[in-house]
Structure 1
Amino acid sequence: MHDNPAESRHLVVVNDEEQYSLWPAERELPAGWRAEGRSGTRGECLDHIQDIWQDMRPRSLREAR
């Protein structure tokens, strides 16, 4: 593991409600989350999430119109 958490490897993860987060790459994913496909430093992953997650409402709320 890296001494500097900002430089350690992270994964972008997503749940069934299409909510995004980042997760340390060396740790097992928590139940209900799957890897989205992007990995990198914490900053790179946060930038990617900011670019793709435009509507932060859970999918079930977005579809309940």
Structure 2
Amino acid sequence: MTYTVVVNDEEQYSLWPEAKTLPAGWRTTGFSGSREECLDHVATVWTDIRPKSVAPAAS
């Protein structure tokens, strides 16, 4: 099965089966692959797991 990496407005990441319609509030990041490839990608790009609304503002 091929997955795609998705992200929501709170900058939280998840995997979604590529063949399924995305739920409301999620968008693709442009990365897809096997489950392991997607998990590795998420581990690289999602370094602060706090929702955007509670993360400290950038200085």
| TM-score bucket of the superposed structures, by smaller chain | over 0.9
Aligned partner of 1:50 among 38, 43, 46: 43
Shift of 1:49: 0.1
Q: Under a length normalisation based on structure 2, what TM-score does the superposition of the two structures give?
A: 0.92
Query: Which of 1 and 2 has greater Rg?
Result: 1
Query: What SS does the corresponding residue of 1:28 show, helix, strand or coil?
Result: coil
Q: Under a length normalisation based on structure 1, what TM-score does the superposition of the two structures give?
A: 0.84
The alignment covers a number of residue pairs equal to: 58
Aligned partner of 1:21 among 3, 8, 14: 14
- 2:52 is aligned with 1:59: yes
Q: Which residue of structure 2 aligns with residue 3 of structure 1?
A: none
Runs of 4+ in 1 over 2 A off after TM superposition: none
Q: Which residue of structure 1 aligns with residue 3 of structure 2?
A: 10
Query: What SS does the corresponding residue of 1:27 show, helix, strand or coil?
Result: coil
* CA RMSD in angstroms, aligned pairs only: 1.4
Query: What SS does the corresponding residue of 1:12 show, helix, strand or coil?
Result: strand
Shift of 1:63: 4.0
* Percent pairwise identity: 60
